[in-house]
Every structure is written in C-alpha cells, then in structure tokens.
Amino acid sequence: MTTLQTRSIPYPECDASKLSHFRFGAFQDGVMLTTDQGAWFWLEREHFDRLLAGTLEEESAVFQELCEKGFIRSHTNLEELAQQVRRRKNFLGNGPVLHQILLQDAKGSLALDTAKAIIDHAMQSTSSHLQFECVQGREPLDEDLLDFLISYTEEKNRYEKKRLRWTLRTPLNNVSPSAIVLLVKNRCTIHTELYAFDAIHEGMDSQDAYFAVVKSNIDKIRQEMVKQEVDDIEFFATMRVRKEHLLRVQECLQSIADCGIQTVYLEPSLQGQNAIQPIEFQSFYTEAVHFLLDSDVNLTEGHTVACAFAIVRPDPFEHPYYWSPGGVGLGIHGYDTTGRIYPSAQAAQYGEESLSVGVVGQIEFQDALVHPNVKVLAIASLLDCLPGFNGHWATPFLSVDPIACYVHTGDLFEHLPSSPRVKVAIHRIETIFALLRGEESRREALEAWIELQA
C-alpha cells in the first residue's frame, strides 16, 4: 500500500546582496568556497551559515580574510578581480604551447619534409615558450630525424627567442649510444611508460628484465650528462594503475624510483581485463601521494604537482591539460606522420580524420586555430557552461579532455558525476586541498614539490 509522506527541506537564510559570486560545496567537515579568479577558503559550517545570513561579525578574522579574497561584495575591487580573471585566462590568446609530434605511427615514419612543415607551423604560435614532445613508437629512434627537428627549430628561433623545451616519449628499452649523446646534447626530457609487476613489455622475458634495461639506459644517460656537464635533464614516467598494483603501492613507487625516474604520473587503467574502478584508484592515489610526501624516496607525482601549482599560484600556468576551456586544440597540437594536425597526440594516434583541423602546409595557422573542431572542443571543455560542473566548488581548478572522453565513450561531453575520469580528477583536487589544510610536514613537502615546478 502506498502512503503519502511530507518532507521539508531546510532552506538557509541568505542575504545574497552582501556576497560576491562564488561556488561552494561540502568538504571534510565544513564548506569549501572558490571563485573564478582562483581564490579559495574553507569555512566551518556554522561560519558558512552566518556568512549566508549576513550575520558573520565584520571584525572577525574569518570575515577579514573573506574580504581579502573577494568573497564579500562591499570589499571587492572589481577592476582587480577582472585583472585576476584575465590573468588566469591569458592562455587563450597565446596559441598552442604544446606540440606533440608522432615520429612513427600506423602510416609509417615521419619524413623530413613533413617534419619541416610541422615546425614551420608550430613556430607561428605567439606563445613566448613552446614545448615539443616527440612520440617514439616501438621502432628504434631515428636520430637524424630528431636532430633535424631540434636544429631546424633552433634556427627558426634565432630571432624569435622563444623558450623551447624538448621531450622524448620513448619506451626507453632501445636507445643507442649515439642517441644518448644526442639527447643529452639537446637537454631532452625523457618520458617513458612503466608498468609494475607484469610481464607485458614487448621483447622482454619478465618485468624485472624490462626495468633493468630502463635503469641501465637511464644510468647511461646520467653518465653522458656528467661527461657533457649537463645537469638539468628530467626523467618522467607514466604508470597505468591496474588490479595487480592496488595492494602494492609502496613497492610500485619504489621500483619506479629505483629506475632513476624523478616524476611519475599515476593514471588509472579504466578499461580492459585488469581495469579498476575510480574508487579503487582514489585509494591507491591517496596512499601513493602520502607515501611520497612522508618518505625520502626521490620521486614526485606529476599530476599532483601540476594541479597544486594551478591551485596555489595565480600566475598563468603553462600546462595546457589544466586549462578551462581545455588545452586540446587551443593549447595543444598533435601531428601524425602525414602532417595532419589534430587537437592532441591522443587524437593523432586514434587517427580519426574527422577530429583533424587540417594539414600542415595546406592550412593557414590562424585557420587551424579557429577550425570548427577547435570551437567544439572549447565548448565541450568550458566547465562554466556544463551542467553539474558550473556549480561545483572544484570547477576553477578542474579541466576535462573531450578527446579522452570521445575515445572512451564516443561523446565529446563529459558527464558529472558519472564520468570516471572526472571522479579521478576531483579526487586529486580534494586530496591536494586536504594536504594544504592538513599536517604541517606534508603541506611543506607539497610546497617543496610546487617550488620545483616553478
């Protein structure tokens, strides 16, 4: 038998005329407030209720700090606020910062004339700094090609004076002595991919054998660094977290650090036989970050550093994966071996031509920037306008990748709260804020990570 029940929902007293625009949401045992300009403040629930009602004492320290951060309308300088927002969105006028170049793909290897056309295209960006990321497949590194890419770019940059950074994404199990000399000479950051405790690497009898080869090659690179008196090459790795890793957090991280890696990017494996759920990754990630901050292991977690930097520093941030609207297409260009331009390397590897924005040498640089695909991607990643995201307290520090969403779901638009990628991203942000509000030793260790990024 159906019975009719009446429930009342308490509506807090609110005097909105005294408040500036901000987002808010439950966090830990209180409420987190955030603004478009990147300000944030944590309030106890009692203080939050009094803030809404307009009864929070103006002489209190809490009220004064809320004024300083722009949460109180009467104490908000609109011109200063506009400048802060403008500074955070300054990247929109910079052009692509990250240029990801596939050296090999299913269509073959990158030819020199295509490589030249790619650099000619990339150097038209008005950004004062450019990051070039060369993505190597399983084939041995074409040293002549990489040398040409770097030397031709430096020649093009003779008068531009842009700050250039080169990264080679490589399996790192097939590096010749001459390639090592070239990488050190040009101060190339090394970014590899490591899986722990699973014999999946091609051509290796075991995982331990693969790790041994990677460590040996990193040691050889370091020896060459000493020989050439170079000390600023960084070693990154991406680790795909899967079922077999969940109970071996510290062992995973220690094995990666033992290889000589300085920064690891922990990524959940959300599809496939050994895939994990977001909640499982959240537990792994939290334990991993706490272990790295508490121990003397010389390893940082890359996503944590990048996201914490975006939270703590108000300056324009050059990591395009943490932009809103997102960096794909706006801040990132990916290129396949035929010279076709994509919004990112992931889109180029996916190879669907409908995602392309043109071909180098056949499309004007400005036309590529205003291509309909770029506009759609910008709309799909503009969180202020997406249902669920527009009111979430973490939105000012959150970004989404429509390409990753499309590859996994066939839809460019992420859906909050069902998206596993968004759940992971929000948990990272929550973890960082918990650290900023938590134990002094961990907060100081996190701040040291941020200083390294700076």
> Rounded CA gap, 416 and 422, in Å?
7
pLDDT for the residue numbered 203: 46
87, 56 contact by CB (below 8 A)? no
| β-bridge partners, 236 | 191, 263
> Rounded CA gap, 322 and 316, in Å?
11
| Residue 371: closest CA among 353, 393, 389 | 353
176, 141 contact by CB (below 8 A)? yes
Task: Report the Cα–Cα distance between both ends of the chain, in Å, rounded.
Answer: 65
- Which H or E run contains 214? helix 207-228
Sign of CA pseudo-dihedral 82, 88, 89, 93: positive
What is the full per-residue pLDDT of the chain (454 aa) written as tens digits?
A: 678 888 777 777 888 888 999 999 999 999 999 998 889 999 999 999 999 999 999 999 999 999 999 999 988 888 888 888 888 888 888 889 999 999 999 999 999 999 999 999 999 999 889 999 999 988 889 999 999 999 999 999 998 899 999 999 998 888 899 999 999 999 999 999 987 554 444 444 455 677 888 999 999 999 999 999 999 999 999 999 999 899 999 999 999 999 999 999 999 998 888 899 999 999 999 999 999 999 999 999 999 999 998 888 766 566 787 888 888 999 999 999 999 999 999 999 999 999 999 999 999 999 999 999 999 999 999 998 888 898 999 999 999 999 999 999 999 999 988 899 999 999 999 999 999 999 999 999 999 998 887 6
Give the strand pairing for 189-194 and 163-169.
Answer: parallel
Backbone angles phi, psi at 269, to 5 degrees: -90, 105
| Residue 341: closest CA among 367, 317, 323 | 367
> Rounded CA gap, 369 and 329, in Å?
7
35, 22 contact by CB (below 8 A)? yes
